[in-house]
Structure formats: C-alpha cells, structure tokens
Chains A and B, each alone.
Chain A
Amino acid sequence: MFSGFVAVISMIPPLAILPILFIVFGLGEASKIVLIFIGITPVLIRDMSQRTLELPREMTVKAETLGASTMTIALRVALPQVLPRLIQSVRLSLGPAWLFLIAAEAIASDLGLGYRIFLVRRYLAMDVILTYVLWITLLAFLIDWALKALSRKAFPWAEASL
C-alpha cells in the first residue's frame, strides 16, 4: 500500500511541481528545500525497501532461532544493514539534488549560486560563471567526500565486505 503510494509519487517529475511549491511556500529557501526533499526521498524510500527485501531470508531465520522478535529483527538485523546503503544512495542522489537546487534558484530567487550563474549569464561573463561552476563542483565534491567518510567511520563492516 505505502510502497504503491511511494511508487506513484516518485513518478511525478519534481520540476513540474516547482511552480506549485513557489505558490505554496513562497520564493524563499523553503521551496528549494521542499523541492529537493520531494525530488529525492521517494527514490531513497524505494531503494531502501528494495534493499531490505534483498536481505537473505537465511539471516532473518537465523535471528528467529536466536529468539529475536520481529522488532529485534527490524532494529538489530535489517536496519543496520540498510543504513550504509542509505548513505550510498544519498551520495548518488546528490546529482539530482544539485539539479533541483540550481533550477529552483535559476527560476526564482534573489540569492544563491544558481541564481548568480543565471544572473551573470546576461552579461556573457564566462569567467564569473566558470568560477561559480568551480565553487559548486568543489561543494559537491566535499559533501560527497564527507558522506563517504561518515559511512567509513560509522559502518566499518560494510567496507570490510567489499
């Protein structure tokens, strides 16, 4: 039921509802954040539920023979094993997240990196645009790197199995 709902939601092109978000949330930061949220969470949820289903049946059976309740299996067996994959998919979703951010800022905003790029476009100021592109790339790289470091630190076993 819930997964069907998420599946339908995830089919909505997020950029298509951007105007609605602007009307509802105004032109400020809220709209951008909501756009990114709507854009990437359905994908993350679907990915997580898929990963959970992919956990080998043997593992849950084993936990049951050790006396684990459904709750214990969810919290101690399933959840810890899908968390590193959550970080993995957040890393993969960073691309779309930036896309949504820059698009939102380009269309309606009065600050932010995306806004500035599209502002100076009018003056054909290539050097300024490239500088901003570099900034964005650097930021994206740093966020990705931080997530990777976090994953390494929090889930050392996931690295060991690679």
Chain B
Amino acid sequence: MSFVIADNIFQSYGNRPILEQVSLEVDEGEFVSIVGASGCGKSTFLRLLLAQETPTRGAITVDGNPPAVEPGLERGVVFQKYSTFPHLTVRDNIVAGESFRRPWGRFFGAAQRAARARADETLVRIGLDHVADQYPATLSGGMQQRLAIGQALVARPRILLLDEPFGALDPGTRLSMHDFLTELRAETGMTVFMVTHDLEEGFKLGDRVIVFDKPRWDPDDPGAFGATITYDFDARNGGFPYQTIKEKTHVLRSN
C-alpha cells in the first residue's frame, strides 16, 4: 500500500469548488513536485496534506492511519515567508524544532544545554553556524529558508511540505538551495511535496511532477469547476523516462 493516499478529494470554499476528484498515491521517500497556474489550488492541496484544513469530501491518509485533524509532528512545513520565529535566535529556532513539543515548549537546565549543542551541530551542517546568535531578520533570504528547512527537519517529520520555498530567491542562491535540499533528502529519505512555479526546478528535484488544472471550463462562469491533477509525469532521469536499461545485457559490449 502507498504511503500517502489522497482518495477522491473535493475542496470548496462556500459554494466555490477549488479542487475536485483529486486522487493521488505516493510512496514513502518520493519527491513530488506540484505545478499549475496561479490560483488553481496548489497551496490548498498542500494545506489539505498538512491537515490544516479538512477536505469537503474524501480523505487523505498517511501510512494507513486515520486522517489527521490538525497539523502535527508527522508533517513538516516550509512556506515562502514567515517560516522562522523572528523573536528567537537562529540557534533557538533550531532548538524550537525539538523543544516545542515539550510541556512548556522549552528545555531546562542540562537538557537545554544539550539541545543547544545539538542545534550547533545542525547549524554547522546547514552552514549557518557563524550566525547562530543572530536573529532571522538579519539573515539573507536564502539563509532564512535554509534555517526554516533545518528547523522543520530537526522535528523529524515523515512528510515535508514546501510551498514555493525558493520563490523569493535569486537564481544562484536557488541552485545552492537545490543542492542543499537534495543532500538532506538523500540523508533522511523523507517524502517531500513541493509547490513551485519553476518547471525546471520541479523536474530537477522531483521524482514526479504533478500538474493541477481545470479539466472542465465554463466560459460563462470560470469559477464553476475546480481543478484536479491533469498530468502526472515521471521526472526521474531529468524527465526522460525509460532511460535506464532494466536488464544487464552485454550484447553491445565486446568484452
């Protein structure tokens, strides 16, 4: 059975349908890129995956468990903005990834020191150790997103949801963020959903690229129908499937 299953999801706000008949099965460890026109409901789908909202019809299950009713530790999220806590230092933002689940949302005494030490190790890994005592507002956009991803990962989610995480970054920073994300993913083997407006990015990072669009269109009332998944591309091997030779043949080789 698949890890994440969206079973015939409908979502409407008021009587305006946004998503309809969305069905998706994703295996554990897959990286799914989500693309589509602006306003077609990509962020809405991500909010459903996050359990921030419950679908009007249908359900999303993870690992066969009953559908979640609110966001929890199982899911990590990084938005385009506001993903770090501005009143905590960079180090404490990382510590928050472990401490917010505690009764008072914090560690005390020795546990606090140990958590800070672990946070420093994480910061070295994500290349932010030199700004550990600064506040997020003093970091560049790329560093803030790296912090946000690092913070989400120390909570050890099983699913990572990214809503245009690199949307506000310049092309160079974007590329280094791609390497960063690929590295982390290789280490953790998480299942990732990433909304992006950059097709190239979607195909480069994703194992699959799914496209949201409206299958039906009423010219008199553009809001009459919702969007669904219209394409589901295999994006491995740079988007060219059937490139891996399945059998080990030696026909073409002379040895």
Contact = CB atoms under 8 A, between A and B. Distances in A.
Interface of A: 56, 58-59, 61-69, 71-72, 75-77, 80-81, 155-158, 160-161
Contact of A61 (B71, B100, B104, B134): B71
Contact of A160 (B79, B96, B100, B137): B137
A73 B3 CA distance: 30
Interface residues of B, number: 34
B106 A66 contact: no
Contact of A66 (B81, B100, B135, B138): B100
Nearest to A59: B82
Contacts of B86: 81, 157, 161
Majority secondary structure, A binding face: helix
Contact of A68 (B82, B87, B89, B101): B101
B226 to A, nearest CB: 22
B135 A160 contact: yes
Contacts of A59: 82, 85
Contact of A65 (B75, B82, B104, B105): B75
22 contacts: A58-B81, A58-B83, A59-B85, A62-B77, A62-B83, A63-B85, A65-B77, A66-B96, A66-B101, A66-B152, A67-B73, A68-B105, A69-B105, A72-B100, A77-B85, A80-B87, A81-B86, A155-B87, A156-B135, A157-B135, A160-B137, A161-B135
Contact of B101 (A67, A75, A77, A157): A67
List of 9 A-B pairs having minimum Cβ-Cβ separation, nearest first? A67-B101, A72-B105, A161-B137, A68-B100, A58-B82, A157-B135, A66-B100, A76-B105, A64-B71
B70 interface: yes
A83 to B, nearest CB: 9
B73 A66 contact: yes
Contacts of B137: 157, 160-161
Contacts of B72: 64-65, 67
Nearest to A79: B87
A64 B51 CA distance: 11
B188 to A, nearest CB: 16
B29 interface: no
Contacts of B152: 62, 65-66
Nearest to A56: B82
Contacts of B76: 65
Nearest to A67: B101
A76 B100 contact: yes
Contacts of A65: 50, 71-73, 75-77, 152, 155, 157
B2 interface: no
B104 A72 contact: yes
Nearest to A68: B100
B100 A63 contact: yes
Contacts of B151: 66
Contacts of B85: 59, 62-63, 77
Contacts of A56: 81-82
* Interface-central residue, B71, B75, B81, B88, by most chain A CB under 10 Å: B71
B176 interface: no
A48 to B, nearest CB: 16
A106 to B, nearest CB: 42
A63 B83 CA distance: 9
Nearest to B75: A65
Contacts of A158: 87
